[in-house]
Structure 1
Amino acid sequence: MIKEVIVVEGRDDITAVKRAVDAEIIAVGGFGINAKVIERIKEAQKRQGVIVLTDPDHAGEKIRRIIAKRVLGIKHAYITQKEGTKDDDIGVENASPETILRALECAKCEVKEKRNEFNIKDLIFFKLTGDNKAKERREAVGRELGIGYCNSTQFITRLNNYGITREEFVEALKRVEL
């Protein structure tokens, strides 16, 4: 059983997560997220902690940002678009139990103080931007670090906000070797 309460978008996501782990789950109802749901998430955060696991698409990121803005100290779990895609449909509900479990185990909490450990020069040096395989590399390293796939700017933000150390970053790069 996972200690934290897992927050997902909808009913099908609940089913997928329950196939992977025994946990308390809150579904926000997509963009139907309202004050009542936010209060439930705040209460869960106070009592047990919260892990947000939304779809790896624009809507999922928007829902994640809404929750993160209103509930402090939550953890973020990510699956890749490839892991969440089935028949051109992207969502947590399409991910395997192993993928969901890995994402939850790698969940990261945002750090409060502003960090500037990583910058665009790091991404250029490690060919995570400005290279024809940069997108693949970012996706692989993001998966390895548990911070998900995103564009270069967001990747730097996540590296800094989730407190990723330079050592963790370099080890993840070595493991993916693209």
Structure 2
Amino acid sequence: MIKEVIVVEGRDDITAVKKAVDAELIAVGGFGINKKVIDRIKEAQKRQGVIVLTDPDFAGEKIRRIISKRVPGIKHAYISQSEGTKDDDIGVENACEEAIIRALNNAKCTVKEKREEFTTSDMVFFKLTGDKTSKMRREKLGYELGIGYCNSNQFVSRLNNFGITKEEFIEAYKKLNLE
């Protein structure tokens, strides 16, 4: 598994990267990078490091510059225009798995053991799934931990991939009075 969180532009990019490697990803949603997304990227950089892999076009470079300006110390992965072009469409989603892996290796990504400190059982125990208040609990806890809101499966993945410890989790849980 890749230690760093990979930042891409959209959902199709996430699908392409997930086919190539096991990693946590953040999609910025194009030019509309809001404060919530930047805060998640900052948290990811602080905890695990970040690699930005955007489309090899003007928009991709602009997004890369915006992130670089707001989040210092990130790594950059690049695919070429020819690797990312399919039927006159340019994007990471068009790159083959080998091109994505090469780009990440050139960015000096770090490989780590897959971490499974949190499980679905934890989500049930802390009422983060299977309860009428689960959505609200994940939303508040995700904000407090800096990992954002998501469904319970993705929440488990983010807790593990962002390196959140049980102690941090319980402290945030108690602070929010979710008991």
Classify the TM-score, shorter chain: 0.5 to 0.7
Q: Is it true that 1:78 corresponds to 2:42 in the alignment?
A: no
1:68-147 equivalence runs, <5 A: 68-107=68-107
- AA partner of residue 61 (structure 1): E
Q: Once the 2 structures are TM-superposed, how far is the Cα of residue 78 of structure 1 from its aligned partner?
A: 0.1
Task: Give TM-score, length-normalised by structure 1.
Answer: 0.60
**In 2, Cα distance between the equivalents of 1:69 and 1:49?**
16
Shift of 1:15: 0.2
SS of equivalent to 2:31: helix
Q: Which runs of 5+ in 2 are unaligned?
A: 110-179
RMSD, aligned α-carbons = 1.1
Identity %: 86
Within 2, Cα distance between the matches of 1:16 and 1:32? 21
Aligned residues: 109
Question: Is the 1:54–1:92 contact (alpha carbons within 8 Å) kept by the matching residues of 2?
Answer: yes
Gaps in structure 1 of 5+ consecutive residues: 110-178
Contact 1:6–1:53 under 8 Å retained in 2: yes
> What does residue 21 of structure 1 align with?
21
Letter in 2 for 1:67: I
Q: 3-state SS of the aligned residue for 1:17?
A: helix
* TM superposition shift of 1:108: 6.2
Tell me how far apart the structure 1 counterparts of residues 25 and 87 of structure 2 sit (CA, whole Å).
26
Quote the offset at 1:32 in angstroms.
Answer: 1.4
Tell me how far apart the structure 1 counterparts of residues 97 and 19 of structure 2 sit (CA, whole Å).
Answer: 6
CA distance in 2, matches of 1:44, 1:68: 14
The list of structure 1 runs, each at least 4 consecutive aligned residues, that deviate by more than 2 angstroms after superposition, is: none
Match of 1:139 in 2: none
Aligned to 2:35: 35
Larger relative contact order, structure 1 or 2 (CA cutoff 8 Å, min sep 6): 2
Distance, in Å, in 2 between the alignment partners of 1:35 and 1:65 is 15
CA distance 1:10–1:103, change in 2 (3 Å): same
Give the match's secondary structure for 1:80.
coil
Tell me the TM-score normalized by structure 2.
Answer: 0.60
